[in-house]
Amino acid sequence: MNTPRSTCSALFIAIACALSAAQGAGAAAPAKPNILLILSDDHGYADVGFHGCKDIPTPHLDRLAREGVMFSNGYVSHPFCSPTRAGLMTGRYQQRFGHENNPYYDPADPKEGLPISERLLPEFLGQAGYTTGWVGKWHLGAAPQFRPENRGFAETFGFIGGGHRYINWQVNAKVEYTVPIERNGKAEEVTEHLTTVLGREAAAFVQRHPSDPWFLYLAFNAPHTPHEPTEERLARFAAIENMTRRKYAAQVSLMDDAIGETLDAVRGTGQERRTLVFFFSDNGGPISVNGSSNAPLRGAKGDVYDGGVRVPFVVKWPERLTAGRTYDQPVSSLDVFATALGVAGAAMPADRKYDSVNLIPYLTGEKTGAPHDQLFWRTTRKLWAARLGDSKLVRQAGKSDELYNLQSDIGEKTDLRAAQSQEAARLAATLEAWDKELVPPAFAGLIGRENSPKAKKAKNE
């Protein structure tokens, strides 16, 4: 039977329109962005140019802030190293699964590390089609089951412990600060300053992957002690009289250059617009230990005052985010998890409680209000804190609660508990309800070995 010409024409047009629409939809579908997560270590709140630092130039970080979004209330989930990293990698308060201490470095200990019951961000991103890489410091357990190559990272380069020498070390696999630098699990000789090497490795990872989406976790140990800058870099800061801060400044400067090399690689390979970059420190600076400054904040690393947990924090994504802005609502390092999964087109897992929020809709204006109604902190040193809006409650065992308004009192100088007893009680009840959701520490860590020579030496890690 012959089909009428008009029917054929209509059918042809319909098919052509359908194909055109399908092709158009395919062309409009955004490519998955790369995700670059940069972490500094024991970096003071005041010690970046975009927070007004005068004696330590950080041109590459300042450019990142100018081209991205700077967070005036950027927090980490814990005031010292390893627990913050555990929360960062899982999107959950680390006390929910007992990672509340720095693990004791022991490759034979099956408990001292991020519990394998938790799934890490690179596992989910790998399933979403990302090439995953880690460069730098690990500090989430030394036994085989805890290592990065067994937690979702396809390409690895760095050291497994909680800290490392920077130059002129003799490799000793039994001593945490001199363990081998490893590439994909195999020891590799390093002869240059470690910070410079980490920047070069990160840049090389970017250059190896110019097309398919990637996730790179670049975790510096700078400017954590020991201070071992190059002589050339130390000489640049001869005007700083305090020798501890002079060495710290040189360490920060070396790290800034390494970050610059990584960002240059992103630019040079044509990936800048489609790369989402995070930068922040793992906790506040320890001040007397490494010469850092957290001004105008109160406290330091280890404290639950803002000096211990409020950090320099920047996000950049030229494809989606307007540059040169400051975002004032509180955000958390926990939010990297949900944000990364969101931009990767991967669903948030629903098998347990997560504390992470996708920040992108808030930064683009799709969502209004605050990403978090409340933020919490707890340490095994018997310190607690809760922030609800501008109010913050600080609790220390054996002492009366303290209440501060961070909008009017960023330095937490004026205790309002007596004058605002109802507000203090509201925050205390919220903090206690959160605390009941948590579990005891899963491993003793360095805290559980306080009298050992190693723990005394590593007290400030």
Query: What confidence tens digit (pLDDT) does each residue in 122-171 have?
Result: 999 999 999 999 999 999 999 999 999 999 999 999 999 999 999 999 99
> What sign does the CA torsion over 260, 214, 69, 120 have?
negative
Is residue 230 in a domain?
yes
Into how many domains does the chain fold? 2
Confidence of residue 457 (pLDDT cuts 50, 70, 90): low
289 & 409 share domain: no
For residues 368 and 385, membership in a common domain is answered with no
Phi-psi region of 278 (alpha: psi -120 to 50; beta: other; left: phi over 0): beta
Q: Is 99 a catalytic residue?
A: no
**Cα 452 from Cα 461, distance rounded (Å):** 15
CATH number at residue 230: 3.40.720.10
One-letter amino acid at 175 equals V
Q: Are residues 365 and 397 in the same domain?
A: no
**What mean pLDDT is predicted for residues 39-64?**
98
pLDDT in tens, 85-118: 999 999 999 999 999 999 999 999 999 999 999 9
Which amino acid, 84?
T
The structure tokens listed for 377 are 């902190």
pLDDT at residue 74 above 50?
A: yes
Binning pLDDT at 50, 70 and 90, where does residue 453 land? Answer: low
Q: Which domain holds residue 252?
A: 31-372
What share of residues in the chain are helix, strand, coil (percent, to 5)? 35, 15, 50
User: What pLDDT, on the 0 to 100 scale, is given for residue 452?
Assistant: 57
**Residue-wise pLDDT tens digits, 370-399:** 999 999 999 999 999 999 999 999 999 999
Question: Does residue 397 share a domain with residue 301?
Answer: no
Higher pLDDT, 78 or 21: 78
173 in helix, strand or coil?
Answer: coil
Task: Give the span between the Cα atoms of 280 and 7, in whole angstroms.
Answer: 63
pLDDT for res 454 = 54
309-367 confidence digits (pLDDT tens) = 999 999 999 999 999 999 999 999 999 999 999 999 999 999 999 999 999 999 999 99
CATH label of the domain that carries residue 394: 3.30.1120.10
**Co-location of 304 and 244 in the same domain:** yes
For residue 16, pLDDT over 50 is answered with no
Handedness of CA 59, 55, 70, 291 (dihedral sign): positive
Is the pLDDT at 17 greater than 60? The verdict is no
pLDDT of residue 27 exceeding 90 = no
Q: 329 with 433, same domain? A: no
316 and 433 in a common domain: no
Does the residue 135 lie in any domain?
yes
**111 assigned to some structural domain:** yes
Give the integer Cα–Cα distance in Å for 195 and 221. Answer: 8
CA angle 109, 113, 117 (to 5 degrees): 110
Give domain status of residue 25, yes or no: no
pLDDT given for residue 182 in this prediction: 98
**Residue 26 pLDDT > 60, yes or no?**
no
pTM of structure: 0.92
Q: Does the residue 9 lie in any domain?
A: no
Catalytic residue flag (residue 227): no
**pLDDT band at 30, cuts 50/70/90?**
low
Residue 213 resides in a domain: yes
Task: Indicate which residue of 43, 53, 60, 81 is catalytic.
Answer: 81
Domain contains 340: yes
87 and 115 share a domain? yes
Report the distance separating Cα 440 and Cα 99, nearest Å.
9
Pair 122, 100: CB distance under 8 Å? no
Of the residues 323, 342, 372, which one is the last residue of a structural domain? 372
Please pick, among 51, 99, 139, 227, the residue that the annotation labels catalytic: 139
* pLDDT score, position 459: 45
Would you say residue 459 lies in a domain? no
> Residue 109 corresponds to which tokens in the numbers above?
């200990």
Q: Work out the average pLDDT over 395-412.
A: 98
Compute CA 180 distance to the chain's CA centroid, rounded to the nearest angstrom: 24
Task: Tell me: do 320 and 197 sit in the same domain.
Answer: yes
| Same domain, yes or no: 429 and 344 | no
209 and 283 inside one domain: yes
**pLDDT greater than 80 at residue 4:** no
- Considering the domain architecture, whether residues 362 and 403 belong to the same structural domain is answered as no
Q: Is pLDDT above 50 for 39?
A: yes
Predicted local distance difference test score (pLDDT) of residue 446: 78
Binned at pLDDT 50, 70 and 90, residue 20 comes out as very low
